[in-house]
Structure 1
Amino acid sequence: MNASDWITRGVSLLRPGNSPDAGKKTAADASKARKAAVGPRPLAERLDATLRRPGEALAPRALRRALVELQAVVDPSVSEVEAGRRAHAVVQWYAARELDERRDIWLLMSERFAPDVQTLSSARDQHEAAVGTADEGQAEVQLRRALASPRARLLQRFAIDPDGMRFLVDLRAELLPHLKGDRRLLPLDAELEHLFSTWFDMAFLDLRRISWDSPASLIEKLIQYEAVHDIKSWADVKNRLDSDRRCYGFFHPRLPNTPLIFVEVALVDRISEGIEPLLDEAAALVRPDRATTAIFYSISSTQTGLKGVSFGDSLIKRVVETLQDELPRLKTFATLSPIPGFRSWLAKHAADMVERLDEKRAAELGRVIGSLPPSAERFLAAADEAVALDAKSPVRQLLLNAAAEYLGRATAAGRPVDPVARFHLGNGARVERLNWGGDPSPKGQRQSYGLMVNYLYDLKRLDKHRTLLAQGKVAVSGGIDDLVLRG
């Protein structure tokens, strides 16, 4: 081989795919590609395997051992006391596991404790055949028994342990973000939500007032879980628990030191327009026995694992009843609420709002934002300076129009698109009043250009408002209705 041939051969080996090991790498890559295309190994296959594959958390042997421990908890031959002891051991072992290992436990609970398919199919066939006959009732009983999964029994036995309820609530909180990525976990989530809806029924919850005299550990939980208006200091929380304030929470006997949901109330003499006076630590106290209005200004759920379990409507009803008993002069019950979805909604619908302006208002808006005809982009840019807008500003007026549209008309599947509106309107309140600059904080600006809203709980019309909402109509005051742009 001469020098020229040697150089040519060397250069060719440097080109991608021409190295001596290229064939081996291609085969290995192909093998990896095939495995990736197949996806994760099914749980049943992992239980039957000997070796762990890359990416799998628990080795097959450990996975089988975990299954045995779970089956021991649900074993029908052992007493409830023994089952609780076994569940406690599993809880302790689970607590020391990494997230991926816990996910394997979720899969075991979800897939290996499902109803027996053949028993369920047979019971369903028998029920269908018995419909309309004297045996229909018995067939329904059998179908119900077939539908009851070993998974439900497993979870119930975990709840026997004093720490079991906390374990299950925390398990679901950790599980929820993984549901979209792994549908195999859906049955476990559905089972937990169903059980929680029974275990956390209003009949089993205590309404307790939280005051400055409550244990410090409980007050610390208010600071930790406050989700609407952050508590900045102990002086701040003391102000929220002062004599002209009230705070109530729902508590469960198995989670005695943690409010599941709590509401903060201000006792005042009129419907509040802004959050700053309510949180002002230097503001003069209102005598509670002289107050005529109760303002619900913050409602916070504390347990992500109880998503889908509704407490809020019952909480407000119970608090209203409690306040009326204590303070008979209270006649008005309203909220001062954020509008968390307004800014993002307006970004998508600004063009429509601008197009619905009449010629005069469109011209006024265009002159202010420097665009004739006015554009959605220029309007949104001007809205970013909402704090500085005066009462006659056409930008401010259009923001109010848009907020009224958002709260009073914007629905999806017959329900308000704003989550806070959905909550209060579902409880029978109505959209009462928009408050410009109600929350000038950076968070308020990010959510709704500083706008806040009052929802009014007219105790004589709650059922009427719920009926309207069931028909896809939102109950609003005359002032809100006047702000909605026509055409």
Structure 2
Amino acid sequence: MTAQRNRFMTDILSTLFDRSDRLRGKSDGRDIRALCDALLSTEGVISGQALAAAIFDRYRAMSDEEKREFFKYINDDLDIDAQALAKLATAYASDHTPDAFVALSKAAEPERQELLRRLNQPVGATSEIVAMRVDLLRILKSNPELARTDQDFVHLLRSWFNRGFLVLKAINWDTPARILDKIVAYEAVHQIDDLDDLRRRLYPPDRRCFAFFHPAMPDEPLIFVEVALTQEIPGSVTQLLSEGRTPLEAEDAKVAVFYSISNCQKGLSGISFGNQLIKQVVAELSLAFPQLQDFVTLSPIPGLNRWLATQTDDAEHGHVARAILDHRASPQDVHAMAARYLLLAKRDDGMPLDPVARFHLGNGAQIYDIHADADTSANGLKQSSGAMVNYLYDLSQTQRRHEDFALKSVVSAAKPARALSTAKFKETPS
């Protein structure tokens, strides 16, 4: 009872302080630039929460044009003083004292980083800053010079959202509805149609879902992964999500299949959680079900049809590319072209064209097998003509494969996938 009373009093006090800060913020008549200057001054040390609350209040009420001007202000007025930095760097080159180092370090950091740190004081401030970055990313498209400010957002968000602060939670049918609603809304790979569809993904004994949360955003999943426990490595998400399938007892499963990974927060774009999430979920499942033998994905190939559209005039396989795009190709040819795309199609820097391939290969996975007619949804047909791929996570090899990919752009592929990349086509040139 004492613990409950203490928690209750803590919640009451937190709410009162939060309301007080917000009320003081709304009553401050200064414009947002003056408030930012005050927050960075000695006044900000004394009244930081109230000033930060006032800045958020002003910001939420702004139009897009006003937000653009605000970002321009912190981009230009709160930038590094390059000339002062150069002098301090020259001084530090001949004077490695702690005082010289502190002065150099302070000059090398844009003042807007300190502004963001001081903004992150009121209750809910972290969510506000993440939402600010959503606006910044949208405005950045027509104002590329604001990339300097975006780099500072990313720098701070990466430190605030590092692995030490993330909390892994299992999502199931008993999870609060406010979070389940967000799982439905944020699902980015295989749309959840209704509550029955959600139940099929969370309730049966052979289904699992895990998400990362941050203590500052307890009701907002950052990223989540949906897992199917199966007896064999699957080749069709259509069958995996079938309404009429017979659930498997989890203790009888031999394979854990990661069939959907969804990032939830646009404001955290470029801050990767997927690698950490997969590795921790593998560890959790291994402890819970030691009989599991394989950990694989059943992944989309989102860039396949875009690449095929650039290959229609190729002398060797243009006729096959056209057949796939026209949805008249044989499964054999879909396999062969998808394998060529995943193993051989590269960017100028030598990395694979496909973004999902870069993600999993960068995590140390291996291209295992490729499947035609695996995703017959409208989106699956549009992006890859229904093709999907298994990436295999062999924990004894992931570190070596990660290093080979990161350092040498080596695309690791199992024999089935390599064989498909050199297979003959069934379609003949017309």
Alignment TM-score, normalising by the size of structure 1 = 0.77
Partner of 1:22: none
1:400 aligns with 2:361: no
Question: Which residues of 2 match residues 124-139 of structure 1 at below 5 A?
Answer: 124-130=89-95, 135=96, 139=100
SS in 1 for 2:246: coil
Residue in structure 2 matched with residue 480 of structure 1 by the alignment: 417
1:50-90 Cα shifts (integer Å, max 9, x gaps): xxxxxxxxxxxxxx93211111122234436x212111111
Shift of 1:318: 0.5
User: Structure 2 matches for 1:72-111, cutoff 5 A?
Assistant: 72-79=38-45, 82-111=47-76
Tell me the C-alpha RMSD between the 2 structures.
2.0
Instruction: Decide which structure has the larger Cα Rg and report it.
Output: 1
Question: SS in structure 2 opposite 1:416?
Answer: coil
Deviating more after overlay: 343-352 vs 147-156: 343-352
Which runs of 5 or more residues in structure 1 are unaligned?
A: 1-63, 357-375
Picking from 427, 435, 451, the partner of 2:371 is 435
* Contact 1:173 1:304 (8 Å CA) reproduced: yes
The reply on whether 1:460 has 2:396 as its aligned counterpart is yes
Query: How far apart in 2 are the matches of 1:235 and 1:293?
Result: 25
1:416 counterpart residue number: 352
> Which one of the candidate residues 184, 190, 199 is aligned to 2:145?
184
What pairs up with 1:89-238 in 2 under 5 angstroms?
A: 89-130=54-95, 135=96, 139-238=100-199
CA–CA distance in structure 1, aligned partners of residues 85 and 420 of structure 2: 56
The match for 1:14 is: none
- The alpha-carbon deviation at position 184 of structure 1 amounts to 3.2
- Tell whether the 8 Å contact from 2:39 to 2:118 is kept in structure 1 after alignment: yes
* Aligned equivalents of 1:92, 1:78: Cα separation in 2: 16
**2:286 corresponds to:** 324
Q: Which runs of 5+ in 2 are unaligned?
A: 1-29, 425-430
Deviation (angstroms), 1:381 = 4.2
Report what 2:3 is aligned to. none
Deviation at 1:399, TM superposition (A): 2.9
How far residue 191 of structure 1 moved from its aligned partner, in angstroms, is: 0.5
* Cα deviation digits, residues 99-134 of structure 1 (max 9, x gap): 11111111112112123334312211113344xxxx
Within a 5 Å distance, the mapping from 1:252-401 to structure 2 comes to 252-352=214-314, 354-355=315-316, 376=318, 379-386=320-327, 389=329, 393=330, 396-401=331-336
The secondary structure found in structure 1 opposite 2:131 is helix
Query: How far did 1:474 drift?
Result: 0.1
Contact 2:308 2:325 in 1 (8 A): no
Q: CA deviation at 1:137?
A: 6.2
Deviation at 1:146, TM superposition (A): 1.3
Q: What SS does the corresponding residue of 2:183 show, helix, strand or coil?
A: helix
| 1:210, distance to aligned residue in structure 2 (A) | 0.7
Q: Counterpart of 1:481 in 2: which secondary structure?
A: helix
Is 1:67–2:33 an aligned residue pair?
A: yes
Q: Return closer, same or farther for 1:471/1:117 CA change in 2, 3 Å cut-off.
A: closer
Percent identity (aligned): 37
- For 1:474, give the aligned amino acid: V
CA contact (8 A) 2:134 2:267 kept: yes
Separation in 1 of the partners of 2:58 and 2:48? 15
Structure 1 SS opposite 2:208: strand
Give me the whole-angstrom Cα distance separating, in 2, the residues matched to 1:381 and 1:474.
26
Q: Is the 8 A contact 2:334 2:372 kept in 1?
A: no
What are the superposed Cα offsets for residues 133-181 of structure 1, whole Å, 9 maximum, x if unpaired? Answer: xx26654443212112221111011111112111111111111132242
Paired residue secondary structure (1:414): coil
Aligned residues: 393
User: Judging changes above 3 Å, is the alpha-carbon distance between structure 1 residues 136 and 437 closer, same or farther for their aligned structure 2 residues?
Assistant: farther
Partners of 1:125 and 1:76 in 2: CA distance: 30
